[in-house]
Amino acid sequence: MTSLPKDPPPKRLGLVIDLDTCVGCQACVVNCKEWNTGGYPAPLSDVNPYGKDTVGAWLNRVHGFEAGQGAASQTVHFPKSCLHCQDAACVTVCPTGASYKREEDGIVLVDEERCMGCGLCAWACPYGAREMDPLGDVMKKCTLCIDRIYNENLPQVERQPACVATCPARARHFGDLADPESDVAKLVAERGGMDLMPELGYRPTNKYLPPRPRRRDPADGTPPPALEPAQPEGGFLGWLDNVLSR
């Protein structure tokens, strides 16, 4: 059923991504692929992975952007996966009923047994969250690791999306954004979490925390004091310095 849920889901599970702390290490990209190629949307295939003209389906990608000019510019690593929009056009355009939004937690999923691979949902998504599987010919997308977050065979601490679990910079957070008391909702309130392309009105669930303003040089413009050159005095290091300076 590709109509959106009539009532807003009681829970709104999603991610909060901290653009201030993401270091662009790609660990989330790799762990996402690793988990999901064996999980719900398995397999996430690649064609010619070690040769020329590689193509493959990935559910999470990290872009690198530069914002601003000159000394004031900032490099920002920018992870991007499905934002599980509240007004998900990818769901309503689906002609077969394969694409749907869960009534209980708002997660957007694809029923791969129903997908006919027309690609219209990927056209409808402004964020590029959906990729066609090159071998399965069905649409793949982030499942928010539905087979981890509700998986009672995993210890409680591991019941979070693979990308969140693996992030070494703790730049990714998972939780219920409909609950104002949740950690993620507090983080969004505190740091000014934002929507991507709000002008299109898809109301994404995932929020991005903007980079914090950079520490500036002292206001009077004096450069910070330079370090003294190292000058070993006497002893073994002094002797070594003499030998190497010759």
Partner 1 sequence: MHPASSIIFFTTSAGAGYGLLFLIGLAAPVGLIPDGRWLGFVTLGLALGLAVAGLVSSTFHLGHPERAWRAMSQWRSSWLSREGVAALVTFAPAGLFAIGWVFLEATGGVWGLFGLLAAAGAVVTVGCTAMIYASLKTIRQWHNPFVLPLYLAFALMSGALWLNVLLHFFGAQGLWSDLLALVSPILAWGLKMAYWRDVDGATGASTPETATGLGAIGQVRLLEPPHTDQNYLMREMGFTIARKHAEKLRRIALFLGLGCCVVLAAVALFTSGVISGIAVFLAAVAGSLSILLERWLFFAEATHTVMLYYGARSA
Give contact residues for partner 1 (rule: CB under 8 A).
Answer: 1-4, 19, 29, 53-58, 61-69, 72-76, 78, 80, 89, 91-98, 114-120, 122-128, 131-132, 134, 136-138, 194-201, 208, 210-211
Minimum distance between the CB of residue 122 and partner 1, rounded to whole angstroms? Answer: 6
CA 35 from centre of chain: 15
Minimum distance between the CB of residue 21 and partner 1, rounded to whole angstroms? Answer: 15
Pick between residue 97 and residue 238 the one whose CB is nearest to partner 1: 97
Pick between residue 76 and residue 149 the one whose CB is nearest to partner 1: 76
Say how far apart CA 19 and CA 188 lie, in whole Å. Answer: 12
Note whether 67 and 210 are within 8 A (CB): no
Pick between residue 192 and residue 232 the one whose CB is nearest to partner 1: 192
Q: Where are the beta strands (DSSP E) in 12-125?
A: 13-18, 46-47, 55-56, 60-67, 74-81, 99-101, 108-110
Say how far apart CA 145 and CA 162 lie, in whole Å. Answer: 7
Minimum distance between the CB of residue 191 and partner 1, rounded to whole angstroms? Answer: 12
Say how far apart CA 195 and CA 21 lie, in whole Å. Answer: 18
Pick between residue 9 and residue 193 the one whose CB is nearest to partner 1: 193
Maximum Cα–Cα distance across the chain: 82
Contacts of 190 (CB under 8 A, 6+ apart): none
Minimum distance between the CB of residue 111 and partner 1, rounded to whole angstroms? Answer: 10
Minimum distance between the CB of residue 114 and partner 1, rounded to whole angstroms? Answer: 6
Bridge partners of 194?
208
Pick between residue 39 and residue 193 the one whose CB is nearest to partner 1: 193
